[in-house]
Amino acid sequence: MLRCVARRAFSAARVRNLATIREPGVVGLVTPDDPRQALKELYGRTLEAVKDLPESAAYRTNVEKITNYRLGVVSENEDIEKIEAMLNIGQVQEIIEQAENELELIPHMADWKPWEMQDGKKPAVIEIVD
């Protein structure tokens, strides 16, 4: 009897139907009323904040490239599910959290200056052996 119930519960048709159900969101992360607008603002602030770093810093270059790409995706698409699929980095709540974390990291990177060599230190040399 139990096997029969289990078979029905997890039949292929039911599993396919479950795949179309959208999860309500990530527990513990709040979704703003307009997540697209929130992302646009965060990405704009990120691009502004990163201007304080030297143009030659690889961190700045990479943050600008990634942020401009994500901002383009968010600006060009109205549908949140499409944005999530195109960015492929999680649900919108996670994307917002990542943008907030990047914005928080920028001032720390400005203080740490990882693009500068410390006094008396030489860059590491990596030998590639075939």
Residue 26, CA distances (Å) to 10, 16, 57 in order = 25, 22, 34
Structure tokens at 79: 């549908």
Question: What is the distance between the alpha carbons of residues 54 and 50, in angstroms, rounded to a whole number?
Answer: 9
**What residues have CB less than 8 Å from 71, skipping those under 6 apart?**
39, 40, 43, 44, 47
The predicted pLDDT at position 107 comes to: 97
The predicted pLDDT at position 85 comes to: 97
> What average pLDDT does range 78-94 have in this prediction?
96
Question: What is the distance between the alpha carbons of residues 126 and 122, in angstroms, rounded to a whole number?
Answer: 12
* Residue 83 exposed, middle or buried by CB count within 10 Å (0-12, 13-18, 19+): buried
Please tell me whether the overall predicted TM-score, pTM, comes out greater than 0.85 for this model: no
The predicted pLDDT at position 54 comes to: 96
Using the predicted structure, report yes or no on whether residue 72 has a pLDDT greater than 70: yes
